Amino acid sequence: MYLGIDLGTSEVKLLLMGEAGDVVATAGAPLTVSRPQPKWSEQDPAQWWAATRAAMRELRAAHPAALSRVRAIGLSGQMHGAVLLDAQDRVLRPAILWNDGRSHAECTLLTEREPRLPAITGNLAMPGFTAPKLAWVARHEPDVFGQVATVLLPKDYLRLLLTGDKVSEMSDAAGTLWLDVARRDWSDAMLDATGLARSQMPRLVEGSAPSGGLLPALAAEWGMPPGVIVAGGGGDNAASAVGIGATRPGEGFISLGTSGVLFVVTDQLRANPDSAVHAFCHALPGRWHQMSVMLSAASCLSWVTRATGAGHEAALLPEARDLSSAQQQAAPLFLPYLSGERTPHNDPHAQGVFFGLGHDTSRGALAYSVLEGVAFGMADGLAALRAAGTEAGTLSLVGGGARSPYWSQLLADTLALPIVTHAEGSAGAALGAARLAALADGQPEEQACAPLAVVQRFEPEFERHGALMQRYRRYQALYGQLRSLFQQAAPA
């Protein structure tokens, strides 16, 4: 048996996987986010550990025999968070999370201090990353910064409590802005720009390699045998890719959750920071990945459902699906920037827009416009990846949006790529963490990372693709015309 532990923002999820890759059981415990000031997002790391132990108690109560056969544990988790420890490994302050927006000024500061930042890290400095958070602490909480002996990412703090070892792995470390992503090693230049040193960083391993062993007291508490390996693991998106079997160059997935991600595996670092593409190490040796990120994806559908009084999304989607081709062509264009946008615009001031409303615009037309606008945002992301030399093949679709065959087909038609869905696609990062545990235990990659079975396949309809591209060009022009107005409307 192999155990995956996924530390999310809203839940700790555990997944038990058999040697053949079958999901045996899952368990979870909820988490809460603290927002003490506007743009702040924090969690107490003690909450992560309490939730992990609660989920483990649930899992042991239901599946004691399976836990007694666990050979290795893999970790996955929310990326970019900053856990600050003193010399006695005590947490100095609440962890600053990935979706915390307080450090815009520090992004500019770090880029001024180290102009080679995009070349070293493969990314632009953004508040979501870890280094600007530490620069903010240095400026605003100098007493805390002066006590920092170690900085850990969220899942790696769990690892410390599981094993007693301070270790990270390449995919998560790539999201800090302290990693030389091409060399897969800490960058002394970027650490120096943040006022830190290598001695304050954890040791690095590959995600599929052992990072330590489970402490004997925990093994006894959880009913596991002695000698359980803890694998390096992966950041949530890299682990999700391993979970669906996206491990070879050109393979990848689209995630349609609250936000949207287009993830493609590459055989080398292919950075395109000018278009706000994220270029990170994969959780497997010798591979990297690119990600385009939309800040609002399935959340746009939730918004239009509420705004139109549709009650729930399942009631609204048929109204979009039943539009004729002529009605789709006449529908308003929608810019899906309800929370600003990341790729390719890196524009926090961008706003959502309906363009082309008329007296005859129906609720179904608005719903169609939203589905199409999100698909166009993904097309922007795919173009940004291609500009860096990356080509995608068949893409898996995961997240809440994967439940809609209509939206799945619309994405295939827009991107001109086959889209597939999987029965266990929702297992995501926790399954990937369990697979990384199997790799650390010596299981061959072709067995541990086999692609998930395909439930449904959506081939692009190229006639419809041509019609969509006419509207896509207008969509692109619309943002270009409005960008300066978005800037003017931004709060001072």
User: Domain residues for 42?
Assistant: 2-232
Alpha carbons 122 and 69: distance in angstroms, whole number: 41
DSSP 57-124: HHHHHH-HHHHTT--EEEEEE-SS-BEEE-TT--B-SPEEPTT--TTHHHHHHHHHH-TTHHHHHSS-
Q: Is residue 5 over pLDDT 90?
A: yes
65, part of any domain: yes
| CATH code of the domain covering residue 195 | 3.30.420.40
The reply to whether 87 and 174 lie within a common domain is yes
Residues 320 and 216 in one domain: no
Given a cut of 70, whether residue 284 has pLDDT beyond it is: yes
- Residue 79 counted as an annotated binding residue: yes
Domain identity same for 402 and 446:
yes
3-state secondary structure of 346: coil
Are 89 and 150 a contacting pair, CB within 8 Å? yes
The residue-averaged pLDDT of 251-258 equals 90
pLDDT one-digit tens code per residue, 345-386: 988 889 999 999 999 999 999 999 999 999 999 999 999 999
Mean pLDDT of 116-120: 96
239 assigned to some structural domain: no
Q: Do 191 and 68 belong to one domain? A: yes
Annotated catalytic residue, options 6, 236, 380, 441 = 236
* Model pLDDT, residue 426: 64
pLDDT value, residue 272: 86
Identify the pLDDT of residue 232: 98
| 89 catalytically annotated | no
* pLDDT exceeds cutoff 80 at 237: yes
The three-state secondary structure class of 428 is helix
Q: Radius of gyration (Cα) for the chain, nearest Å? A: 22
How many distinct structural domains can be found in the chain? 2
> How far apart (Å, rounded) are the C-alpha atoms in residues 62 and 65?
9
**In the predicted model, what is the mean pLDDT of the chain?**
94
- Contact present, 437 and 69 (Cβ < 8 Å): no
Q: What confidence category does residue 492 fall into, taking pLDDT thresholds of 50, 70 and 90?
A: low
Structural domain ending residue among the three candidates 232, 267, 302: 232
- Tell me: do 111 and 27 sit in the same domain: yes
Whether 222 and 259 map to the same domain: the answer is no
CA distance 67 to 78: 25
The tens digit of pLDDT for each residue in 206-229 reads: 999 999 999 999 999 999 999 999
63 is in an annotated binding site: no
The one-letter code for the residue type at 7 is L
Tell how many helices (H) and how many strands (E) occur in the chain: 19, 24
Question: Could you tell me which residues come within 8 angstroms of residue 232 by beta carbon, excluding any fewer than 6 positions away?
Answer: 75, 167, 168, 169, 170, 205, 206, 207, 208, 209, 210, 211, 283, 436, 440
In this prediction, residues 378-406 reach a mean pLDDT of: 91
pLDDT value of residue 440: 98
240 is a domain residue: no
Report the predicted TM-score, pTM, of the whole model to 2 decimal places: 0.89
Query: What is residue 425's predicted lDDT score, i.e. its pLDDT?
Result: 62
Indicate if 132 and 174 belong to the same structural domain. yes
CB 435 within 8 A of CB 74: yes
| Mean pLDDT in residue range 182-202 | 98
Of the candidate ranges 20-24, 25-29, 135-139, 256-260, the one whose mean pLDDT is the lowest:
256-260
In this structure, the answer to whether residues 164 and 293 fall within a common structural domain is: no
- Is the pLDDT at 412 greater than 80? The verdict is yes
Q: 254: which strand partners?
A: 262, 397
On whether both 277 and 408 belong to a single domain, the answer is: yes
Would you mind telling me the total number of residues written for the chain in this entry? 492
DSSP letters of 119-160? HHHSS---TTSHHHHHHHHHHH-HHHHTT--EEE-HHHHHHH
Nearest CA-CA partner of 257 in 292, 289, 300, 316 = 300
Do 287 and 370 belong together in one domain?
yes
